Amino acid sequence: MACPFDEDPVDVEAQIIRGFFRRERVIRPRIDVFAYPNEYLKECYRFSKDSLVYLTRLLKPHIANVTNRGSGLSTENILCIALRFFASAHFLYSVGDSEHVGKATVCRAVRTVCLALKQLLPTFVQFPGHKPLLVIKDEFHRVAGFPNVIGCIDGTHIPIKAPSINEGDYVNRKSIHSINVQVICEATQIITNVEAKWPGSVHDARIFRESSLCQTFQQGQYNGYLLGDRGYPCLPYLMTPFPEPEPGPQTRFNLAHSRTRAKVEMPIGILKSRFQCLRGLRVSSERACDIIVACVVLHNIATIRGESHPPCIEED
C-alpha cells in the first residue's frame, strides 16, 4: 500500500485515507447583524443597534482579527457571538448553530471578548461611582431617608460545574457548586464594585474583610456608609439592621435600612435576567470569574445607555 501522504497516491485505499484527513473546508455565510430589527437584537444580544455599534467601536482595538483572509470573522461577528452566549443559557454548539460558526469559534470569541471587557473594568466599575459623592448620597437618601449612604453591599452565588481541584471549597450552603460574588451598587442600579473570585463556601463577611475596598474604608478614605444585611458585621463604615428591633426608633431604622438596601438586590436580579448564562456556567472556575466580570461591565454599559431588560429573577 502506498503512503497516503504522498503527492500522487496510487492505491485506492491511500486515496480514501488521504481524503479523510483532508476534508473540504466549508465556510458558512456570515450573519449581517445590523440588518435585523432592534427587537430581535435586544432579544438575542440584549443591546439595540446603536449600542452594538458603540460596543464594536469600544472593543475593536482588543478583539479585531488580524488577518488578510476574506473569511475571517469581523469585530461585529466576534462581539455578537459572545453576547449571544452571555444572553442565553445554551451550550456552545447551540450558539454556534445560531451564529453559523463552529463550537471552537464560539469558545474563542467568548474568551476574547471576556478578556477585552475585563480590561475595561476600572473604567466602567468604579467605587463609589462616577458621580460626585454628594449626589450619590442624595439619591440614596431619597429612597427612604437614610443619610450618608454611598453604597449597598450583598453577595450572590453563580452556579458552576464541579471543579476538578478543591471541589469541596465551591459547595455552598445549598450544596451547589458556585462562585460567591460580592456586589456593591448605587441607587441607580449601577454596580460600583465586584469581587468575583471566591468559592461558594466562603462567607460574605470574609469576602468583604479580605477585599481592598475594606482596607480603604479602614484607612478613612471614604466619608459615608455601606448598607449590608445581617450576614455582615456592624462596623463604623458598614451599617447592618438590628437583629431584634424594639418598637420605635429601631423598627423605623430597620425599615429604612431594608428599603434602601433593596437597591442592591434589583441590579443583581437584572444582571442575572439580562445574562442568562449566569444561571449556570459550564466552564472552569477561573473562566467563570472572567465571564461574571464581563457581564458586570456589560450591565453597567447597558444601564448607562438606557437599555431595557427582561423581567428580573428573584433572589433567594
Model pLDDT for residues 179-191, shown as the tens digit of each residue: 999 999 999 999 9
Q: Do 62 and 193 share a domain, yes or no?
A: no
Asked whether residue 63 falls in the same domain as residue 169, the answer is no
The reply to whether 18 falls in a domain is no
Residues 149 and 200 in one domain: yes
Contact criterion met (CB below 8 Å) for 258 and 265: no
- Say if residue 102 is in the same domain as residue 127: no
1: pLDDT strictly greater than 70:
no
Which of 119, 153, 179 is the last residue in one of the domains? 119
Q: Which three cell numbers stand for residue 25?
A: 473546508
Q: What is the mean pLDDT of residues 39-44?
A: 92
Residue 93: inside a domain: yes
β-strands 225-227, 238-239 pairing:
parallel
Domain count, the chain: 2
pLDDT category of residue 73 using cuts at 50, 70 and 90: confident
Interacting residues of 61 by C-beta distance below 8 A, sequence separation 6+: none
The reply to whether 131 and 149 lie within a common domain is yes
Please indicate, yes or no, whether residues 114 and 136 belong to a single structural domain of this protein: no
This prediction has a pTM of 0.88
Give the CATH number of the domain where residue 272 resides.
Answer: 3.30.420
Classify residue 245 as exposed, middle or buried by CB count within 10 Å of its CB (0-12, 13-18, 19+): middle
What's the chain's length in residues?
Answer: 316
Residue 150 resides in a domain: yes
The model's pLDDT over 304-315, given as tens digits with 9 standing for 90+, comes to: 999 998 887 555
Domain of residue 237: give its range: 123-304
Domain boundary residue among 119, 136, 165?
119
135 and 201 both lie in a single domain: yes
* pLDDT, averaged across the chain: 89
Domain boundary residue among 77, 99, 119? 119
Q: Are residues 95 and 224 in the same domain?
A: no
C-alpha torsion 158→276→291→96, nearest 10: 140
Residues 189 and 172 in one domain: yes
Is residue 4 in a domain? no
| In contact, 222 and 205? CB cutoff 8 Å | no
